[in-house]
Amino acid sequence: MRLLFFGTPDFAVPSLKRLAEEFEVAGVVCQPDKPSGRGQKLTPPPTKLLAKELYIEVFQPEKKSQIFPIVEALKPQCIVVVAYGKILPPEVIYYPKYGCINLHASLLPYYRGSAPIQRTIMAGEKKTGNTVMLMEEGMDTGPILSQEEEPIFEEDDLKSLSQRLSQKGAELLVKTLREWIKGNIKPLPQEHERATYAPPIQKEEYRICWKTTAEGVRNRVRGLYPNCYALTEKGERIKILKGKVVKGSGEPGEVIDTKRLTVACGEDALEVLELISPKGKIMKGEDFIRGYKVERFI
């Protein structure tokens, strides 16, 4: 079967690799190269790099109107979408014989939207999974072709859970496609009344609010790893990488234990286990507090 693949970030890489092993991938469509790092050097998406290795033609349309001509030229029998990052126009979704198939990193209808893994962890969920669905014009509203649950472990963060879901999602996607083209799968409509949403992460969400519960702070740190940060009274930014909930009380943001860097929250306290200092160094919380005199975070 001739496929056209839409996908951009690291999460999409295992799926592209497995699809290329099983099917004819006629092309890869991804987002344009973007500035990255301190030098703001133009950096290609991970899927583009893999496509080059696999000698698959790459397309990086900047406008939605540029997408359909690519589809028309390649004439795919099926389109597969894994974290492409943009909404596809209807003429693209309904073009292929076998439809437009999407791998989504949640148990739909829960956590529809662009940040399902982050939002799932931030909500303190104990399980998630992958869904392969047949796309339609609504956001993640299409009928389900297959689903697979995945536990969320206490030590999981955005990085570890994303890696696991991307690998398992790739296998589920290939297995589902095999059965779909054989006619062995009947699409199952979603229960729309049970839907929840995972909107994009806003810039202000990365800053820790110590007035919430310690468990809430910990889940935010896990879900937004490694970019969740706190500000010292001097305005210095410290990225919190790992923490645990402990008993303790004080004014939210107050450092109540200077031996283990424990910070009071709205309920209980968070012991900061690992962080990135204002100088960019990864440190244990107890080592940081010995060298930096921080009485509270704002």
Beta carbons of 68 and 93 less than 8 angstroms apart: no
**Structural domains in the chain?**
2-194 (3.40.50.170), 203-291 (3.10.25.10)
Closest CA to 80 of 59, 96, 69, 68: 96
Q: How far is CA 136 from CA 99, 115, 129, 144, 167, in A?
A: 9, 19, 21, 11, 25
Torsion sign across C-alpha atoms 272, 278, 282, 284: negative
> Mind listing the pLDDT tens digit for each residue in 66-103?
999 999 999 999 999 999 999 999 999 999 999 999 99
Rounded mean pLDDT, 238-259: 95
User: Residue 39: is its pLDDT beyond 80?
Assistant: no
pLDDT at 183: 96
> How many CB atoms are closer than 10 A to CB 132?
25
For residue 192, is pLDDT > 80?
yes
pTM: 0.95
Residue among 286, 161, 281 nearest 222 (CA) = 161
pLDDT of residue 229: 97
pLDDT band at 281 (very low <50, low <70, confident <90, very high): very high
| SS3 assignment for the chain | CEEEEEECCHHHHHHHHHHHHHCEEEEEECCCCEEECCCCEEECCHHHHHHHHCCCCEECCCCHHHHHHHHHHHCCCEEEEECCCCCCCHHHHCCCCCCEEEEECCCCCCCECCCHHHHHHHCCCCEEEEEEEECCCCCCCCCEEEEEEEECCCCCCHHHHHHHHHHHHHHHHHHHHHHHHHCCCCCECCCHHHCCECCCCCHHHHECCCCCEHHHHHHHHHHCCCCCEEEECCCCEEEEEEEEEECCCCCCCEEEECCCCEEECCECEEEEEEEECCCCCEEEHHHHHHHCCCCEEC
pLDDT per residue as tens digits for the range 5-32: 999 999 999 999 999 999 999 999 999 9
- 144 strand-pairing partners: 133, 188
